[in-house]
């Protein structure tokens, strides 16, 4: 930073010397001294000695009241020092002395913005655009500050004027579209996108934007018309085909005819996988609730087809795995997650889902190996240590289990749900070793995080019962049963007053 500052200072000095050395031009001693003072002030500014710089620039302005440069530099220094009034005063003086310097005016607009004077900032860019009507940056800034100051209609006029100079282009049309939409003028917002699509008829991206906007504002009829236009121009357009199939199915997303259309599209390798996944995502969480067996199978077939068409895409297996997980096909889901990790082992949620399935299936030897590999790849993910602890506990390696749980807790400060699970597991491990005091401590730590996790309340009751506190134990079991009303084990414990 210091080298850069010195380089800039040398540039100032060289520029000053060049001015002094112009042929036939003589400078008085006073003028030379002013130049030296300006250089010294610039040096102090570069060295970040802003108070000194401000004082020296003030001295320059006292000696040379007709030069705008020191006023400009002084304004920048006062801005750094957060003395906004002095900054505004000096930049306005600089502009008064040199009304043609655009940098001065841009800095004035920046000061206005900093002080939330959006209308004043808009006026500055209005003046700049009038002096330089071919500079579209000024128009964009002018419109931006008009919108910020609540004058959206005037911003539209600014863009209309700019469009008259540049012609129709995506940047202007999209900005006008956004402004109209924010104003609640949906018809005008749609017209802007339609104008863009008409201006560039061969670019189907603009027609898609228009169709999606019609979908956004629930104008399905208009969206359908646009998608039909797209398919006339490009019958292979996957997005349009999928959308149109949805409309032809009467918006019944689980209609077998619609799912059949998707199936044909899913077979095409040239259709982007992201387009297909976007259509599958809604089914991931709903497929388990589908009551019609044929429809459910058709949905699952789409997931399988995705993996067959895109056999090297990790996300294809991940999505299909999620669908199988939802319908409780744990073995199938695990196989898909393993395929995902074979193609891409960097996505931790897949590792986590796979570890959970190992746990649910009781595959603890495999879980130990799997979670250990996850710990190596993601050393800061607490869940891996939790699952390794579960696996170690099942293999009666209680010391290793407790160590893993403690590591998991160290990493669960931002994951209270994980912390509760870890404390519950830790309590179980201590309980198996008859270390009831430590088991109780773990349970109480978990209940501090979540007083209503039923498993902890049940465990607390178990510990109390083992300590001979029968009534207190039953009280905790009843609390747990109020939350988990379908627990047969809790009902049995309360009824029999025993473990």
Helices (H), 64-151: 68-80, 84-97, 102-114, 118-131, 136-148
CATH number at residue 477: 1.25.40.10
358 and 335: one domain?
Answer: no
The answer to whether residue 435 is domain-embedded is: yes
Least-confidence region, from 36-45, 120-129, 150-159, 236-245: 236-245
Segment 330-352 shows an average pLDDT of: 95
C-alpha span between 10 and 39 (Å, rounded): 9
Number of domains observed in the structure of the chain: 4
C-alpha span between 114 and 145 (Å, rounded): 12
248's enclosing H/E stretch is helix 238-248
277 and 322: one domain?
Answer: yes
CA atoms within 13 A on the CB side of 316: 22
498 and 411: one domain?
Answer: no
CA distances from 191 to 178, 210, 359 (A): 12, 9, 56
Amino acid 178: pLDDT: 96
Pick from 230, 234, 308, 324: which is nearest to 276 by CA?
308
Amino acid 84: pLDDT: 93
C-alpha span between 460 and 449 (Å, rounded): 14
The answer to whether residue 281 is domain-embedded is: yes
Pick from 452, 456, 388, 397: which is nearest to 421 by CA?
456
Pick from 466, 430, 429, 427: which is nearest to 444 by CA?
427
pLDDT per position as a tens digit, 212-246: 999 999 998 999 999 999 999 998 888 888 888 77
pLDDT per position as a tens digit, 404-427: 999 999 998 888 999 989 998 888
Whether 25 has a pLDDT exceeding 90, the answer reads no
C-alpha span between 36 and 48 (Å, rounded): 18
Tell me which residue range forms the domain holding 81.
1-115
The answer to whether residue 327 is domain-embedded is: yes
CA atoms within 13 A on the CB side of 275: 17
464 and 398: one domain?
Answer: no
Amino acid 225: pLDDT: 94
The answer to whether residue 263 is domain-embedded is: yes
Burial class (CB in 10 A: 0-12, 13-18, 19+), 31: middle
Confidence tier at 253 by pLDDT (50, 70, 90): low
> Is residue 244 a contact partner of residue 224, using CB atoms and an 8 Å limit?
yes
Whether 309 has a pLDDT exceeding 90, the answer reads yes
- Output the six-digit token pair for 226: 């646009």
Amino acid 332: pLDDT: 96
367 and 396: one domain?
Answer: yes
25 and 92: one domain?
Answer: yes
Pick from 69, 38, 68: which is nearest to 56 by CA?
38
Last residue of a domain, one of 313, 340, 367: 340
27 and 105: one domain?
Answer: yes
The answer to whether residue 151 is domain-embedded is: no
98 and 5: one domain?
Answer: yes
Segment 274-292 shows an average pLDDT of: 87
């Amino acid at each position: 930073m210091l080298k850069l500052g010195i380089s800039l200072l040398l540039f100032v000095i060289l520029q000053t010397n060049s001015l002094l050395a112009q042929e036939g031009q003589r400078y008085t001693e006073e003028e030379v001294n002013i130049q030296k003072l300006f250089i010294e002030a610039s040096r102090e500014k570069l060295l970040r000695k802003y108070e000194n710089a401000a004082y020296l620039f003030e001295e320059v302005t006292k000696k040379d009241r007709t030069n705008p440069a020191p006023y400009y530099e002084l304004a920048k220094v006062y801005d750094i020092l957060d003395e906004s009034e002095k900054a505004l005063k000096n930049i306005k003086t600089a502009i008064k002395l040199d009304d043609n310097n655009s940098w001065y005016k841009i800095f004035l607009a920046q000061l206005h913005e900093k002080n939330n004077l959006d209308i004043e900032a808009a006026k500055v860019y209005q003046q700049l655009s009038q002096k330089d009507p071919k500079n579209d940056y000024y128009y964009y800034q002018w419109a931006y500050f008009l919108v910020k100051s609540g004058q959206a209609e005037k911003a539209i006029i600014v863009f209309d004027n700019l469009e008259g100079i540049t012609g129709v282009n995506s940047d202007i049309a999209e900005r006008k579209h956004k402004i109209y939409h924010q104003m609640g003028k949906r018809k005008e917002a749609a017209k802007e996108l339609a104008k863009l699509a008409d201006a560039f008829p061969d670019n189907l991206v603009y027609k898609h934007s228009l169709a999606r906007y019609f979908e956004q504002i629930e104008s399905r009829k208009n969206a359908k018309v646009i998608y039909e236009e797209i398919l006339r121009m490009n019958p292979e357009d996957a997005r349009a085909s999928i959308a149109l199939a949805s409309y032809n199915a009467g918006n019944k997303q689980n209609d077998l005819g619609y799912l059949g259309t998707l199936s044909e599209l899913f077979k095409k390798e040239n259709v982007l996988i992201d387009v297909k996944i976007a259509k599958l995502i809604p089914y991931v969480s709903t497929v388990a609730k589908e009551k019609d067996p044929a429809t459910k199978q058709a949905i699952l077939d789409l997931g399988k087809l995705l993996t067959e068409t895109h056999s090297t895409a990790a996300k294809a297996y991940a999505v299909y795995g999620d669908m199988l997980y939802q319908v409780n096909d744990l073995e199938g889901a695990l196989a898909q997650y393993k395929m995902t990790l074979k193609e891409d082992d960097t996505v931790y949620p897949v590792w986590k889902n796979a570890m959970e399935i190992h746990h649910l299936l009781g595959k603890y030897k495999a879980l130990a190996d799997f979670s250990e590999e996850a710990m190596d790849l993601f050393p800061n993910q607490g869940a891996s240590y939790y699952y390794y602890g579960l696996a170690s506990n099942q293999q009666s390696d209680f010391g290793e289990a407790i160590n893993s749980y403690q590591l998991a807790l160290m990493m669960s400060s931002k994951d209270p749900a994980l912390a509760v699970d870890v404390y519950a597991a830790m309590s179980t491990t201590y309980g198996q070793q008859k270390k009831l005091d430590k088991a109780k401590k773990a349970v109480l730590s978990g209940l501090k995080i979540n007083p209503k996790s039923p498993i902890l309340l049940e465990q607390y009751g178990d510990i109390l019962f083992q300590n001979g506190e029968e009534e207190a134990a039953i009280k905790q079991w009843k609390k747990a049963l109020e939350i988990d009303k379908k627990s047969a084990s809790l009902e049995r414990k309360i009824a029999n007053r025993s473990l």
